[in-house]
Amino acid sequence: MDKKRIGVISLGCDKNRVDTEKMLSIICSEHTLVNDLSTAQIVIINTCAFLESARKEAIEEILAVNEFRENGCLEKIIVTGCLPQKFANDFFDDFTEIDALLGVSDYSKLLTVINRIYAGERVMEIGEPKNECIKGRVLTTKGYAYLKIADGCSNHCTYCLIPKIRGKFRSIKKSELIEEAKSLGQVNELILVAQDLTRYGEDLGDTSLCDLIRALSSLPNILGIRLMYCYPEGISDELIRELSSNAKLIRYIDIPLQHASDRILKLMNRKGSFNSYLSLIERLKRDVYGIAIRSTFITGFPTETEEDFNVLVDFIKKAKLFNAGFFAYSREEDTPAYKLSGQIKKGEKTKRLKKLYSVQKSVVKENLKSLIGKTFSVTVEGFDEDMLVYYGRAYFNAPDIDGKIYFFSSEPVIYNQNVNVKIIKAQGYDLYGEKQ
Assess if residue 136 is contained within a domain: no
Assess if residue 102 is contained within a domain: yes
Residue 242: the pLDDT is 98
Query: How many CB atoms lie under 10 A from the CB of residue 123?
Result: 19
Query: How many CB atoms lie under 10 A from the CB of residue 395?
Result: 18
CB 293 within 8 A of CB 322: yes
Instruction: Give me the sign of the Cα torsion angle 258, 264, 268, 272.
Output: positive
40 and 87 belong to one structural domain = yes
CA torsion angle for 251, 176, 181, 256 (degrees, to 10)?
-30
Assess if residue 131 is contained within a domain: no
384 and 350 belong to one structural domain = no
Beta pairing class for 389-393 and 375-384: antiparallel
205 and 321 belong to one structural domain = yes
290: amino acid identity, one letter: G
Instruction: Give me the sign of the Cα torsion angle 243, 244, 249, 254.
Output: positive
- Whole-number Cα distances in Å, 182 to 62, 186, 192, 415: 35, 9, 14, 22
Among the three residues 368, 389, 417, which one is the final residue of a domain in this structure? 368
CB 168 within 8 A of CB 152: yes
- Indicate the number of domains in the chain: 3
Assess if residue 134 is contained within a domain: no
The low-confidence residues of the chain, meaning pLDDT below 70, are none
Query: Which range marks the domain in which residue 379 is found?
Result: 375-435
Query: DSSP 3-state assignment of 21?
Result: helix
Residue 70: the pLDDT is 86
DSSP per-residue string spanning 13-56: -HHHHHHHHHHHHHHHTTSEE-S-GGG-SEEEEEE--SSHHHHH
Q: Containing H/E element for 86? A: helix 82-91
Q: Containing H/E element for 378? A: strand 375-384
| Nearest alpha-carbon partner for 177 in 190, 163, 162, 166 | 190
CB 5 within 8 A of CB 42: yes
337 and 395 belong to one structural domain = no
Alpha carbons 359 and 337: distance in angstroms, whole number: 27
Beta pairing class for 42-47 and 76-81: parallel
DSSP per-residue string spanning 318-361: HH--SEEEEEE----TTSGGGG-S-PPPHHHHHHHHHHHHHHHH
Residue 99: the pLDDT is 97
Give the burial class of 57: count Cβ atoms within 10 A of its Cβ; 0-12 exposed, 13-18 middle, 19 or more buried. middle
| Nearest alpha-carbon partner for 157 in 329, 295, 313, 355 | 329
264 and 238 belong to one structural domain = yes
Assess if residue 284 is contained within a domain: yes
191 and 269 belong to one structural domain = yes
Beta strands in 56-110 (DSSP E): 76-81, 100-102
224 and 362 belong to one structural domain = yes
- Whole-number Cα distances in Å, 334 to 12, 26, 139, 338, 380: 20, 33, 35, 7, 44
Residue 391: the pLDDT is 97
360 and 383 belong to one structural domain = no
CATH label of the domain that carries residue 380: 2.40.50.140
Alpha carbons 4 and 391: distance in angstroms, whole number: 38
Residue 434: the pLDDT is 97
305 and 380 belong to one structural domain = no
230: amino acid identity, one letter: C
331 and 191 belong to one structural domain = yes
CATH label of the domain that carries residue 282: 3.80.30.20
294: amino acid identity, one letter: R
Among the three residues 352, 368, 384, which one is the final residue of a domain in this structure? 368
362 and 379 belong to one structural domain = no
Assess if residue 139 is contained within a domain: no
CB 152 within 8 A of CB 167: yes
| Nearest alpha-carbon partner for 299 in 329, 255, 336 | 329
256 and 153 belong to one structural domain = yes
Residue 363: the pLDDT is 97
